[in-house]
Amino acid sequence: MDFLEGEILYFNKPLRWTSFDLVNKFRYELTRKLGVKKIKVGHAGTLDPLATGVLILCTGKATKRIDELQYQTKEYVATLKLGETTPSFDLEKEVDAVYPTAHITRELVEETLKSFVGTIQQVPPVFSACRVQGKRAYELARTGQEVALRSKTLVIDEIELLDYALPIIKIRVVCSKGTYIRALARDIGQALRSGAHLIALERTRIGQVTLDQCLSPEDIKPFLDKHVEKIVEDKK
């Protein structure tokens, strides 16, 4: 593999790691192994620290393909807790409101999910990387400022109810670039005349790449040992 010329790699991002943590870890190990001071490494499609799953890393000239790779369809498995909301729509912030769930049935959930399939409008979370007047929305939100974000058009190809154990539901979502699953959890809660927030999220696929094709951070050193040594041998 020619990492300087450019390679595309697939990782399973661990819980509580940022996408940049994984990029930095791989870049550090790669520069040490290649014996160079720096090399371009970037990622396609950010995952929140509280999310796990498929993350694409590009090296060298392959970083020019990041925009192209980001536009691929993505699949997620999301776990939602109904009846409670948080300001971040996930576990980053504490619960700020509680709502009734006694009226919610499996049939109501399944019918509600169908209403989200197709082209929809979604307002991103204020705790997101969307830019507002040159600053990230989350930077403003964390200082207590009011943040007004415009809705965005996106496509939900599929939503499937995987598990129902009120107040917890688990869903599978196939969607376009730009979809915030945290915001989808918020909107599902509102559509159910209750509240909801995300308590777990795993990205299971980007394009045709699935979790079983992904490396873990623990695989980085043995992976580089194998492939960088092969480059050296090929030059002998």
| Active site residues per annotation | 48
- φ, ψ of residue 2 to 5 degrees: the values are -105, 95
**Sign of the C-alpha dihedral computed for residues 97, 188, 206 and 130 taken in this order:** negative
Per DSSP, the three-state class of 106 is: helix
**Sign of the C-alpha dihedral computed for residues 209, 213, 216 and 219 taken in this order:** negative
In Å, how far from its chain's centre is CA 19? 9
Q: Are 78 and 168 in contact (CB under 8 A)?
A: no
Put residue 211 in one of left, alpha, beta given phi > 0 → left and psi -120 to 50 → alpha.
alpha
Pairing of strands 131-132, 152-165: unpaired
What is residue 125's DSSP assignment? Answer: P
Distances (CA, A) of 3 to 40, 142, 216: 9, 38, 18
Q: Are 201 and 48 in contact (CB under 8 A)?
A: yes
Q: Which of 209, 215, 162, 159 is nearest to 184 (CA)?
A: 159
Residue 107: in which H helix or E strand, if any?
A: helix 106-114
